[in-house]
Amino acid sequence: MDLHYESLLIGGEWVPPSSAKRIDVISASTEELVGSVPEAAEADVDAAVAAARRAFADPSGWAHWAPADRAAAMERLADILERRAEDIVARVSIQNGMPVAVARQLEGAFPVVLLRYYAGLARETPFEETRPGLFGGQTLVRREPIGVVGAIVPWNFPQTLASFKYAPAMAAGCTLVLKPSPETVLDAYAFAEAVLEAEIPAGVINIVPAGREMGAYLVAHIGVDKIAFTGSTAAGRSIAETCGRLLRPVTLELGGKSAAIVLDDAKMELEKIAEQLFTATLLNNGQTCFLGTRVLAPRARYAEIVDLFTGFAGALTIGDALDPGTQIGPMASARQRERVEGYIAKGRAEGARITIGGGRPGQQDRGWFVEPTIFADVHNEYTIAQEEIFGPVLSVIPYSDEDEAVRIANDTDYGLGGTVWTSDHERGVAVAKRVRTGTIGVNTYLPDPTAPFGGVKASGIGRELGPEALGNYQQYKSVYLGQ
């Protein structure tokens, strides 16, 4: 793959950038240059916001289209993304190391599903209603689009997490300025090409690839009405401070340090649960915010559970992200690998015991690989049990009874995901209800488009997905009609 772009998608056309700066894209598996794109500067962000504002303010523009017409345009975009899925999947896997088998299920399919889902909601959801008043008369209650949305997307699931934002925003009638991460920009250009092919009206979607500095500039931009961000908790706090000062609505989906609670009655038969366990603990090379990276095991079965996860991790196939047989690919960047290796060193220093992994796979002579790593003898106060590592590293923590398991699960700054593993469904649901988190699964975990997704505590503010996300891009207006 050798892809080089010279322009930015702003106002429905390819526009030359205002700066000569460029973003080079390096393959996570081979460390080779695979493409480059312009790096957006302040003037480009200004132009993108202005284009989104024009598209929103136009009396005959996107915000004023009939919901069914917006839905039809979204479905055209979904059809085109579906046809382009293999190209998008390959671009994502090359850039961030996501195994291509995972990318096909998520990066290739999820945006298509979300566009069609929110197109359906746009058709079915009433955007206004008349209510009888308690003092006589009536009130017309309208749900109007909030305006121009600044959407900032991370590198780990770039297309999926972008669609979490643009699909409900488009359905609501909003326009967007989308800022992809510099680590994953080639897939953003494939999306831009699909937007043009689908004839989405000019200015509805504008794309400005850039780093953190331009992200901060977009967040504080006077022409933006709402920010939707997925990324680190540290960055989320900074964004929240800016939006709070500006009284600007914001949705933040941030980090996690979720617990996978193995109850004493769980039947941990890998031949039956391996796929679900992988998705819940090691998906996308561990570079996933909701993963249960703290495995809580009953003391009476502790050695058994440690051995199970050790064997599970050791059996995973490590390789080039584009190999369909790969289960664990490389980290997204050299910097990310250094971060993960730093945490592994901290775990060792604090007294945790590595049962497998802990280094770089010997069979890989290039690429940013880290072996799947299991830590045993971990106390919940250890750094590796409290801070998000974002790599293929799991900590197995013992507990004495169900109450202690719940206490340990809740003893974290985060609250995004989690799982409960049990042979008793009702018991599993009861334990899940006690865990302070935004989402949790019983013997499985995978976000569903119809249900709200997000976290509590340091894992964020607000929710994405489900009908609830549509409401995040709308504001209410009451028109009092009198008698």
Q: Are strands 148-152 and 226-230 parallel, antiparallel or unpaired?
A: parallel
- Residue found by looking up tokens 């390819």 in the block: 14
List the structure tokens of 32: 């080779």
CA distances 160 to 77, 81, 115, 394, 465, Å, are 14, 12, 11, 24, 11
Contacts of 342 (CB under 8 A, 6+ apart): none
Exposure of 355 in the CB half-sphere (CA atoms within 13 A): 21
- 154 contacts 83 by C-beta, under 8 angstroms: no
Sign of dihedral through CA atoms 31, 32, 35, 38? positive
| 35 phi, psi to nearest 5 deg | 170, 180
Cα–Cα distance between 392 and 410 in angstroms, integer? 22
Torsion of CA 108, 109, 113, 114, to 10 degrees: -50
CA distances 317 to 99, 320, 357, Å, are 10, 10, 13
Give the three-class secondary structure for 377.
coil
Query: From the candidates 107, 253, 371, 388, which is the catalytic residue?
Result: 253
82 labelled catalytic: no
- 208 contacts 40 by C-beta, under 8 angstroms: yes
- 292 contacts 404 by C-beta, under 8 angstroms: no
Exposure of 439 in the CB half-sphere (CA atoms within 13 A): 28
Query: From the candidates 39, 289, 371, 464, which is the catalytic residue?
Result: 289
Cα–Cα distance between 390 and 303 in angstroms, integer? 25
Q: Which of 228, 109, 222 is nearest to 172 (CA)?
A: 228
The number of residues making up the chain comes to 483
Cα–Cα distance between 121 and 467 in angstroms, integer? 7
List the structure tokens of 207: 């794309």
Contacts of 38 (CB under 8 A, 6+ apart): 5, 6, 7, 8, 17, 19, 21, 22, 23, 44, 209
Tell how far CA 235 is from the center of its chain: 14
199 labelled catalytic: no
Give the three-class secondary structure for 316.
coil
Q: Tell me which residues are annotated as active site.
A: 253, 289
